Each structure stands twice: as C-alpha cells, then as structure tokens.
Structure 1
Amino acid sequence: MARYVFITGGVVSSLGKGLASAALGALLQARGFTVRLRKLDPYLNVDPGTMSPFEHGEVFVTDDGAETDLDLGHYERFTGVPARKTDSISSGRIYMNVLEKERRGDYLGKTIQVIPHVTNEIKDFLAIGAEDADFMLCEIGGTVGDIEGLPFFEAIRQFAHERPRGECIFMHLTLLPWLAASGELKTKPTQHSVKELRSIGIAPDVLVCRSEQPIPEKERAKIALFCNVRPGAVIPAYDLKSIYEAPLAYHKVGLDQAVLDAFNISPAPRPDLRRWEDVMDRLENAEGEVRVAIVGKYTQLEDAYKSIKEALTHGGMANRVRVQVEWIDAEVFEREDPSPHLQGIHAILVPGGFGERGTEGKIRAAAWAREKQIPYLGICLGMQMAVVEAARNLAGLSDAGSEEFDHEAGAKRFTPVVYHLKEWVQGNHVVERKLGDDKGGTMRLGAYSARLAEGSQVARVYGDTRIEERHRHRYEVDIAYREKLEAAGLRFSGMSPDGRLPEIVEHEGHPWFIGVQFHPELKSKPFAPHPLFADFVRAAVETSRLV
C-alpha cells in the first residue's frame, strides 16, 4: 500500500505547491521509490476544459483523455510518470458523482450531506491505485481557509485518521513575507496559517516556507516551536532561476529527508541525482542562444502555453542552447506587416487555440515562415491555419477557411478545408459528435496513433513510422483536399491508422516546416526532450548561423 503525502497551501495562492510536489516526487524517485502524483481542485467546474486560458492557464491532457490542471504537467515533466484520469478531481466532478448516485437511488433514500457523502466520495477517489506506488503525493488546490476547499480538507483528515498510523503525513506550504521597512522576515502569517489548518483537525508534519530572503536558524526554530513541528522539518524554499533547479535545491535543504523522517523510514536510501545534475548542467552551460517567436492568441498569460514554453526549453537542452521566447499577439499581424516583428527570429511556433480571433494573424505568420524559409512548427490550430494558408496561396482555393469560424452555411461562401469532426474511431468503438453537443469533454481527447510516411521529414525526426500523441480538438483538416494541396507542395506526411484523418503536414523543399494536429509539448520532459521540439530547436540553431 502507498504512503500518502498531502500537500496543502496557506497565506496566499501561487506559492508553488505544484512545483514542490513535483520536485518531491522526483527526489523520492531518485531514492529508488515509485511515486504517483494527484491533484484535488476545489472549483466547481467538472474539469478545466471549458475555462478560458486567461482564467485558468493551460489545460493539460492525459493519455486517457482527461482535461486537467496544468500542475499535472509539472508532475509528468519532473517524474516521467504519465498522469491518468484518476489523478485529477474537482469539486464539480465530486458533486456530479454524488448527485448521479442520488438520482439512481444508490443512497437508499438517505438525506445527502457533505459529511459523509461528499467526503466519502473524495476518500474513494484518494484510495484509487493505492497499490500502484510506494508514495502517493496529493496536492490540494487553493489555500487553507477557502470555503470551497473545506470538504477536501475534512476528507483528507478523515482519510489519514482511518489509515494505520504512519501511512499519511501532511506537508504545508506557507509564505514568510519580508518587510523592507523594518528589515524583518515575519513568521506570524505562517503561524496563523498553521493555526487555521489545526482548527480543522490537521497538524502539519513538514512546513515548506517560501521566502525571498535567507531564513535564519533563529526564525526556523521559532516557527518549529509555535507550529509544533520538528526544527528539521521547517524547510526553506527560495526563488530559483529555473524550475528545474527545484529537485536539487529542495534536496540541499532537506525536504526529501524530512518527509522520510516523518514516515520513520530509516536508514533512507541514498539519492541518485545525476539526472538532475545533467539537466542543470545543460541549462547553465548553454553554448548559444536562439530566438523563437510564439505567435498566439493568449500571449498575455504565459501559463496558457506552459507546456510549449517548457518543451522549447527542453529542446534547447537537447542542443545545449538557450531558447529566448518572443511572445507575439497574433492579432498584431492582422493590422501590421509581420516582417518588423519577426526580424532576427530564428524559428516560429504557432500554437493551438479556439475561436476566430487572431487566426488571420496566424495564417500570415505561416505564410511569412514559408516564404522566408524560416523553421515553422504549427500545433493543432497552428497546423490548420498553415493548411488554410497553403490552400489560399498555393492551391488556388482563395476562399479557404474553417467551419469553426463559419457555422452559418449561407452567411459566407467559403471552402471548408477544416471541418467539424462528427465521427472518429477511439479504440474499438466509433465516437459521434454534433455541433450542438455540450462543450465539456466532447473533443477528440487523449492519445491516438498515427502512421508516418516513409522518407518524410517527421519520420526522420521521430526515427520511426508509428507514433502515439495526445490530442485536444474538435476540428480536422478535410482529407478531400489532400490531392490538390499535395500537388501544391504541402505533403500529408502523417495520417491516422485508418487513413481518414490528417495528423501531420510538411512543406516539401522547406528547411523545416511541420504542422501537427496533436500536442507534442504534453509529452516532453527535461531529461527526455520531445523529438519534434529537439529537432525544431536544432533547425533554429542552423537558421541562427545563416542570419
């Protein structure tokens, strides 16, 4: 059975619970343990799939088709353990499950209450897969004291109480603010946060204290005394130059040892940190720099493209170069010539998105990359807009467009080279969708296979002709226009196994121009860069030597 570590946060949000959880998972792995990480979010959405990227940031997609919080991306990038549907839950999903059971009569006419019905549902979720790993790390979203998080805190209190002693511990992340006027680190917010946690029956075993200043031993001892934790379990957490420094930094201050001590695991296996030492060596000893433009719709919030930015960093590590990302709002290209904004850029990446806003700008970015022979990577909508660009400017389909932007058949005459996917094969069954269906969870989600054309650029990049990648979209490039587009030089180099759905396109004769319908960034890791991003950055390095 797994040992459970429940990670909570206090004082303020955005302190880095997800990163601390991921780093702890990596450190436990380095000591030879198996881990699984899990996220419990208090919001009432069933999942983040219908949230605006400006509201929630990136939606991370698992192999089995779950739309989850971006913290699961951290978990995968740091541990390499593929996340599953059972690793993410929200209040909305919990309440939906409870109400569905009530409608079926599963509760035998009882009055449905938060305790025990909602808390039991949360505990049932926590117990899933307990035999799969040595440690189960469960992060509770939000901050202690938030009213929407109370059922989760009560559930983990009950869960720990019901388990044999020594199977569960609590790790609490807080803030030590620095008051410049008095030149002091203040411990009182941490004390109050722990007091709030204890008032609901949870006593932290490990305290992780975020601070912009070094924490003196005197202050650590004070925190230990007033918060009733061992001095060695008060762990400082300082700002880092890179998130990938976190495993080594947390190991240096004793986080993994404090957790093992809380479980009375002694003697603890020695950690093998060579993986993370190599990662940091590649980051800190880069031998050059390339500039990559991300032309997107949500560039005002970098978290909307979190996995893409990290995958570019990984590609840089693979080539021992630093990737400087230039964020460009796609709408700018609808008003202005792209050239001044793209001078000195070594590669262009156009990511996914939803809705019509900014799409003409993405099309112009694709045209600029094709004409200037600059490396281009189009992801999801970025691929579709590259296809529309080729259809308009190379294949003679000047009115080419997408059904995503033209639902009214008679409102505007256009050639739908991108159409709403109404049917596809998933596993051994056919999935059907209509335009009027609910938005949540109705896209083509999760891992799907593709076959790559022999001799194609992508087959060289992958070193294989059979791949599996994660999808999140409901519109597809129409295979009916393949012959006309390929005659114009846009090769359909990757297809679904049944040959019906285009997965990858590339411009023949271009140094590096690839569009993919899936999201390769979701599978990239610092110690295992995704081959598409590694080769994309390599092509950017080649471009940098020519300009």
Structure 2
Amino acid sequence: MTAPAAPTPLIFVTGGVVSSLGKGIAAASLAAILEARGLSVTMMKLDPYINVDPGTMSPFQHGEVYVTDDGAETDLDLGHYERFVNMRLSGKNSITTGKIYDSVIRNERRGDYLGGTVQVIPHITDEIKARIDEATIGHDVALVEIGGTVGDIESLPFLEAIRQIRIERGAHNAMFIHLTLVPYIAAAGELKTKPTQHSVKDLRTIGIQPDVLICRSERPLPEGERRKIALFTNVPERAVISAIDLDNIHKIPMWLHRQDLDQIVVEQLRLESKAKPADLSAWNAVVDASEHPIDEVTIGIVGKYVDHKDAYKSVGEALKHGGIRQRTRVTLKWLESEDVEREGAEKALADLDGILVPGGFGDRGFEGKVLTAKFAREHDVPYFGICYGMQAAVVDAARNLAGFAGANSTENDRATPHPVIGLITEWRTSTGDVERRSEDSDLGGTMRLGLQDQRVKPGTRAHALYGKDVVGERHRHRYEFNNHYRVPLEDVGLVFSAKSADDTLVEMIEWPNHPWFVACQAHPEFLSTPRSGHPLFVGFIRAAREYKHGGKLLEEAA
C-alpha cells in the first residue's frame, strides 16, 4: 500500500499597514527564485471576500478576472504567479471566504457534521486547511498569499487557519513572511518604522510571529532602521528584507536574491538537499532586453475600464512581453472607447503604431470599439482584437462591407435585424432559424471558460504566427459569431483563420490584404510570460514596428 504523500512545506505571505503593497509580486518573485534553484513550486491565493469568485465582480472594484486552464475565474494575482513561475494553476489555487462557507454549509446540509453546531473553529478553519493541502500537495514548496491587510476582520479565519498549521507542523514545515510599509516622511527626512512595528504587533496578538519581514519603502533600509525593526519585531536582522520601488518588476527576483531571501527560506524549511544554486540568467535576460531596447512603439488600448488599468492587467503585460522578445519598448496609451464615439476615430486614434481592443461586456462604449476596428481596417493600422475586440471587428465588416445595416451583437441590441454575434442558443437551432433569447434566460448559460483547442487554417497569418495546426487558448465569454453569416462575410474577404476543434465556432478572423489585422475570440494574454511571450503579441508588436518605420524593421539584436 502506497504511503500518503507528506504535506508540502508552506510559506505564508501576509500584508500589513496598507493594501496594494505588492504581496502578489513579492510572493511570485520569491517563487521564481526558488524555481530557479531547481525546486518544484506552486502558489495559491486566499481572498477574504464573500463572493464565491471574482467572476461577477465589477472590474472597477476588483480589476481583471484571471482565467485558468480549467475555467476558474480567479484573482488577478494568479496572473502574476503564472507569469513568474513555470506552472499552470487551477481553481484549487484560488480560494475565497465565499467558497469556504459555501462548502461548509453544503456539508452541514448533507449531515456531514452529525448534527453538531457548525462554527468558525474548527469547521471553517479545517476546511481552509484542507483546501490548502489539496492545492499544494506534491510540490517541494508552496507559497500561499493571504489577501487583505492584517487587522481586517474579514481575514481572521484565514490567519487562524495558518496559525494552526504552524503549530501542527512546526517551523520547518510552515513559515511566515510579512510584507509591510516603511514610509518616508519628507518633512522629517526619515524612514518611519513604527507602522511596521504595530503591524507585527497585530499579528502577534493572534499568535503569528513572522519569520521574515519584507519592508516596502521608497529607498533602501539603512542598517540602523533594519536593526531597529529586527529588535522591536523579534525577527532576525538578516531576515529584515528591504523592498524598494523598482522601475521594472522583473528586477524584483534579483533584488530579493541579493538579500538572501531564498537562502533563508531554504534553510528554515530544510530544503538544502533539493535546492541548487539559483540560475537567474533568464530573468537577467528579460531585464537586459527591457532596459536596452533597439526600438519603441506606442500601442493604443481602446477599452471601457481604462481609468482602472488593472482591469486589463494581463493585456498590458502581454504587450510588454511581446516587446521584450524583440528588444522593443512598448508605450501603452489608454483610450476610452466612449471618447472614440465623441471625438471620432481620426482624432482619438491619431499617432498610434498599433491598436488593441480588449475584452469586455455590455453596450457602453461598444460603438467606439466598432469605429476603432473600422479605422484600423481602412487606414492599414495594425489591429489586434481580443474577445469583444473580435466581435467589434465582425460588426464593422457586417455593417460597412457586407451591407447588413443595423448589424450588432444581441448582447447590445436584442432587436437587431442582423445578429452577427449572439448566444449559441439564439442561432444554433434545428431549423437554422435565429431564435431570440427570452428575457429571463440564465446569463451564464452559454459562458465558455478555460482552455480549449482550436484548429488554425493553413496559409493564414494566424497559422504563420503560431506555426501549428492546433493550439489551445483560454476563453471567457458568452457570445459567439453567428454561423449564419459566415458565407456573406467570406464573400467580402474576411478570413476565418481558426475554428473550434469541432469546427462549429469561429475562433479567429483576419483581413488578408491588411498589413496586420488579427482578432481572436479567446484571451491569449493569459498565456503570455516575460520569458517566452505569446506568438500573437510578438507578431502584433513586430507589425507595429513595421508600421512605424514604413514597412521596414530596424535591425534586431541577435
């Protein structure tokens, strides 16, 4: 009989003083160093909000919804994790308070607790611990980020659960890293350590003593402040790590490595026998390409949440990755699609080397996206449409080339005479007729989520970019191209360059006589990393360079 696998050593990352200090980036950077030392690493996020997942949360409040291979809608920090570490996460790696309580309540309804009183301790904390084990088993080490800020009432069950884990498993199987703020007071000309001291005090009142402090500040911690923090927080001076504001997030793994953070972890968790010297050459290459560009382009992102750029976090990162792969600095110009409607495309979209229209939901600003696709098509500006950006390009083609006046998506106009975009249930019927959606239909009934294969048509730009006949991309959308309009749009020159594996759904379109006009229904930004990029983003940035230089590329570095 095979013995059960031993629990994975765990590193818990908490935050204090204020939110948005960068726990996710810090945790991902440490994970990248540990991976560079030959360790098998995984990560997970524990979020204290009661929503089951971020899928229905406003982008203005929560930012991007990141989608994993298995179709889980997760926190955007999972995007940081996958971009920094060579791993593919799943829904198990993203846990919310809502998921935990939902599971416990279902257990209680089934009678699993034998009629006992269901309480936060032990039932909620036991469920949290079980979820952590389920997501991390089988790895050399796992990093678990606790969302929120120490002192918030919402995160107390998570903190209690990780306190119990440390007691049950010991310091060599579970350690705590606490990220805090050390503010600089310009009037006094001093870094202030008191907020960090109080944050650690709050942790200690609930039974958690940090093993490592990562102190975020505008400038490096002087030795005096480092010693003071160590003295008042009971943390070894060596384990007080300075985290300054850097101009490039890809420098963070090297910065933390120079302060021996990974060695502290390896020693405490007794991983010396598995860990080798860190090889950060790939990260050094990323930084070098970023800081020594041979070219620069300006890309306009035309969306509806541009005042809250975290809503397009992966898109912005993937564009920069596409530049890194060819030593090109990518400057992002964020444009409201409603401004395109008000000002006109000629004015709003001037002086751009390329235009990207990202995903979205709802009718606000959609006409601006259609105008953007039309402008790019007519002026030979490189265009990259993602999800809603593909649908906008289809609407443009239907209205302005195929002669379908009033063509639209049924998401925005249920009475449109030409529903070129709609729910599958609206156009896939036994008779071939278009069937209208009822007012009370389930909004999520046709949502496509997660990694799905698609067949790429040989001879197309898409096939040249991918270099493959079949590729997998992650999806997050409800509405699809209406197949009843395939032939009329093909007749005006639109090429359907990729379809679903069963040939029933349109996955990609392109204009063959355009310098670079490609749009896809999936979200390729979720599979882009700084070390490898993504073929579509690399190709798009190359096209933007060609457009900027009149069809010629500057010589690329070897």
> Which interval holds the TM-score relative to the shorter structure?
over 0.9
Q: Are residues 434 and 450 of structure 1, via their aligned partners in 2, closer, same or farther at CA, if it must alter by over 3 Å?
A: farther
- Deviation per CA, 1:474-531: give whole Å up to 9, x if none: 0001111000001111111100111110000111211111110000000000001000
Residue in structure 1 matched with residue 424 of structure 2 by the alignment: 421
Residue in structure 2 matched with residue 406 of structure 1 by the alignment: 413
Q: Are residues 135 and 440 of structure 1, via their aligned partners in 2, closer, same or farther at CA, if it must alter by over 3 Å?
A: farther
Aligned counterpart in structure 1 of residue 46 of structure 2, from 40, 52, 56 = 40
The CA distance in 2 between the partners of 1:188 and 1:328, in whole Å, is: 41
**What is the identity percentage for the equivalent residue pairs of Structure 1 and Structure 2?**
55
- Deviation per CA, 1:334-359: give whole Å up to 9, x if none: 11221122222111100010100000
Residue in structure 1 matched with residue 223 of structure 2 by the alignment: 217
1:307 aligns with 2:314: yes
Other structure's SS at 2:64 match:
coil
The CA distance in 2 between the partners of 1:98 and 1:152, in whole Å, is: 15
Aligned counterpart in structure 2 of residue 234 of structure 1, from 232, 237, 240 = 240
Please report how far the alpha carbon of residue 129 of structure 1 lies from its aligned counterpart in structure 2 after TM superposition. Answer: 4.2
Other structure's SS at 2:421 match:
strand
Residue in structure 1 matched with residue 537 of structure 2 by the alignment: 533
1:170 aligns with 2:173: no
TM-score, length-scaled by structure 1:
0.95
Aligned counterpart in structure 2 of residue 109 of structure 1, from 102, 105, 115 = 115
Q: Are residues 191 and 164 of structure 1, via their aligned partners in 2, closer, same or farther at CA, if it must alter by over 3 Å?
A: closer
The CA distance in 1 between the partners of 2:366 and 2:479, in whole Å, is: 14
Residue in structure 2 matched with residue 50 of structure 1 by the alignment: 56
Please report how far the alpha carbon of residue 442 of structure 1 lies from its aligned counterpart in structure 2 after TM superposition. Answer: 6.5
Please report how far the alpha carbon of residue 253 of structure 1 lies from its aligned counterpart in structure 2 after TM superposition. Answer: 2.2
The CA distance in 2 between the partners of 1:451 and 1:436, in whole Å, is: 34
Residue in structure 1 matched with residue 394 of structure 2 by the alignment: 387
Residue in structure 2 matched with residue 455 of structure 1 by the alignment: 459
Bigger CA drift: 79-88 or 353-362?
Answer: 79-88
Is contact 2:498-2:509 (8 Å) kept? Answer: yes
Other structure's SS at 2:149 match:
coil
TM-score, length-scaled by structure 2:
0.93
- Deviation per CA, 1:261-295: give whole Å up to 9, x if none: 33244475211111101001110110110011000
The CA distance in 1 between the partners of 2:52 and 2:354, in whole Å, is: 37
Is contact 1:289-1:321 (8 Å) kept? Answer: yes
Residue in structure 1 matched with residue 554 of structure 2 by the alignment: none
Is contact 1:67-1:441 (8 Å) kept? Answer: no
Other structure's SS at 2:106 match:
helix
1:338 aligns with 2:342: no
The CA distance in 1 between the partners of 2:363 and 2:453, in whole Å, is: 28
How many residues were matched structurally? Answer: 536
Please report how far the alpha carbon of residue 213 of structure 1 lies from its aligned counterpart in structure 2 after TM superposition. Answer: 2.1
Is contact 2:41-2:141 (8 Å) kept? Answer: yes
Is contact 1:50-1:440 (8 Å) kept? Answer: no
The CA distance in 2 between the partners of 1:367 and 1:149, in whole Å, is: 48
Other structure's SS at 1:319 match:
coil
The CA distance in 1 between the partners of 2:92 and 2:80, in whole Å, is: 16
The CA distance in 2 between the partners of 1:116 and 1:435, in whole Å, is: 44
Other structure's SS at 1:324 match:
strand
Amino acid at match of 2:408: G
Residue in structure 1 matched with residue 482 of structure 2 by the alignment: 478
Amino acid at match of 1:259: V
The CA distance in 2 between the partners of 1:14 and 1:438, in whole Å, is: 35
The CA distance in 1 between the partners of 2:295 and 2:129, in whole Å, is: 50
Q: Are residues 204 and 413 of structure 1, via their aligned partners in 2, closer, same or farther at CA, if it must alter by over 3 Å?
A: closer
Bigger CA drift: 253-262 or 274-283?
Answer: 253-262
Other structure's SS at 2:208 match:
coil
1:377 aligns with 2:381: no
Residue in structure 2 matched with residue 351 of structure 1 by the alignment: 358
Is contact 1:206-1:233 (8 Å) kept? Answer: yes
Aligned counterpart in structure 1 of residue 520 of structure 2, from 513, 516, 537 = 516
Q: Are residues 128 and 442 of structure 1, via their aligned partners in 2, closer, same or farther at CA, if it must alter by over 3 Å?
A: farther
Bigger CA drift: 4-13 or 122-131?
Answer: 122-131
RMSD: 1.7
Amino acid at match of 1:512: W
Misfit runs of 4+, over 3 Å: 264-268, 422-425, 433-442
Bigger CA drift: 103-112 or 39-48?
Answer: 103-112
Is contact 1:205-1:262 (8 Å) kept? Answer: no
Amino acid at match of 2:397: A
Is contact 1:378-1:386 (8 Å) kept? Answer: yes
Q: Are residues 436 and 202 of structure 1, via their aligned partners in 2, closer, same or farther at CA, if it must alter by over 3 Å?
A: farther
- Deviation per CA, 1:80-100: give whole Å up to 9, x if none: 211111100000111111111
1:498 aligns with 2:502: yes
Q: Are residues 441 and 176 of structure 1, via their aligned partners in 2, closer, same or farther at CA, if it must alter by over 3 Å?
A: farther
Q: For 1:133-212, what aligned pairs fall within 5 Å after superposition?
A: 133-212=139-218
Q: Identify unmatched segments of 5+ residues in structure 1.
A: 426-432
The CA distance in 1 between the partners of 2:202 and 2:123, in whole Å, is: 24
Aligned counterpart in structure 2 of residue 88 of structure 1, from 80, 84, 94 = 94
Other structure's SS at 1:128 match:
helix
Residue in structure 2 matched with residue 429 of structure 1 by the alignment: none
